Amino acid sequence: MGVQRSTASGGHGDIEVPGQQRWLRLIPIVFVTYSLAYLDRSNFSIASAGGMSEELGMTSATSGLVAASFFLGYFLLQVPGVMYADRRGVRTMIFYSVLSWGLLAAAQGVLSSVTALIVVRFLLGAVEAAVLPALVVLLARWFTKAERGRANAFLILGNPVTILWLSAASGYLIEATSWRGMFIIEGLPAVAWAFYFRSQVRDYPGEAGWLKPAERDAVQTAIAAEQAELAAAHGPGRSSALVETLRSSRVAILAVQYLLWSVGVYGFVFWLPTIVKAGSSYGIGTTGLLSAAPYLFAVIAMVINSRSSDRARHRRGFVWPWLLVGALAFYGSYLLGGDAFWLSFPLLIVAAIALYAPYGPFFAMISELLPRRTAGIAVAVVNAFGALGGFLGTYLVGWLDNATGSSAASFLMLSSTMAAAALTLLMVRAPRKEREKRE
């Protein structure tokens, strides 16, 4: 990663932020942290296709309910978790979250009942709930508007990159041990990582002894200028941050939009290995490799789209067109039907690209639409509704597949929600001063 220089536009002119220390020290840490979170969230789909459903006697509908229980806990603890992080610090909150989810993820390997699995999945979602919004808030404190799309993209890259190697490695890990062994082996690294995270991360640039003074002063000045502009655009806060966030029409629209988007993302992520295994008739090892392929392309698209968004200094136009492409890809898979797997597989690759490419600009947009006093809670509220979308996506795909005996109805449902997500985002407007500056 070369030397990073960004220019933040503030009310007093352009502020150039020199240096690369933030990128080299902080970005790899947040990337690995979110990667571990996504690993312990998503390996359930491989375990389900790799023998767990048969051993525990789970139907597609039951398996969908178990997977969806994660998102119920994830939804309930989003906003309280971020409020705790604001009071006690992002670093402290994430340390305890990572430690807890590592232990709970490994515990899945010793469970023998569906009820116990539902409880542990719920708790796993609860302790992981505030991690993503807290990391987005952390990056907003460390990176300027001109950098934020790329910084958020590197964070969210933990999602498709993890699924990329998870899908390939976990299948063979199950073959070498069992689905129980996979849960234990993949859960324990998070326990060690929690202590490393706490030793390396600080909540603000001014608290980091390793950051050179020139880079520290420049980034703090740039972010202060950005916040002053947002405060002028929104006016002084007269109520609590939570009340102000809940009253925001932008937050409400983004929350609904992200719910619809997440139905598509998690309906795709949690059921892709099962769809691939049924369509290809391969073993779990090869199924894992095939399931990984779409995410390789998704990673590349995320980097390119986020860099383009940063250069354009614009977000919305780098989000909604991708979601519309995803809707068309799912609809194409519906038209082809379950008997044409090898024809629909390229469309699943397109769907993965379209689902993941917009993440960096989307989360940058949230923190740039609102002042700092409400941005953290806004991310949590939006992400909480995304958790509801995850619950619906994982459960409904399993229920529809079980009820109809094929994936056709699921593809139609995913296409509809992605199209609705694209159209909903078009309703979001930037603050008036931001629009005037752009014009």
- Between 153-157, 195-199, 388-392, 423-427, the lowest mean confidence (pLDDT) is in 153-157
Coil, helix or strand at residue 13: strand
Coil, helix or strand at residue 24: helix
Q: What are phi and psi of 340, to 5 degrees?
A: -120, 55
Task: List C-alpha distances in Å: 201 to 207, 208, 282.
Answer: 9, 8, 43
Q: Where are the domains of the chain?
A: 19-202+211-438
CA distance 287 to 69: 25
Structure-model confidence comparison of residues 365 and 2, the more confident one? 365
Percentage of residues of the chain with pLDDT beyond 70: 90
CB-neighbour burial class of residue 280 (10 A; exposed 0-12, middle 13-18, buried 19+):
middle
Q: What is the pLDDT of residues 160-212, one digit of tens each?
A: 888 778 777 888 889 899 999 999 999 999 999 999 999 999 999 999 988 98
Structure-model confidence comparison of residues 270 and 29, the more confident one? 29
Minimal CA–CA distance to 138: which of 229, 207, 232?
Answer: 207
Q: What is the pLDDT of residues 90-143, one digit of tens each?
A: 899 999 999 999 999 999 999 989 999 999 999 999 999 888 888 988 998 899
| pLDDT for position 276 | 83
CA distance 434 to 271: 41
Q: Which CATH code is given to the segment(s) 19-202+211-438?
A: 1.20.1250.20
The residues, any chain, with a CB within 8 Å of residue 207's CB and separated by 6 or more, are: none
Q: Is the pLDDT of residue 274 over 50?
A: yes
Structure-model confidence comparison of residues 6 and 214, the more confident one? 214
| pLDDT for position 338 | 65
Q: Is the pLDDT of residue 285 over 70?
A: yes
321 falls in which pLDDT band (50, 70, 90)?
very high
CA distance 184 to 170: 12
CA distance 78 to 113: 28
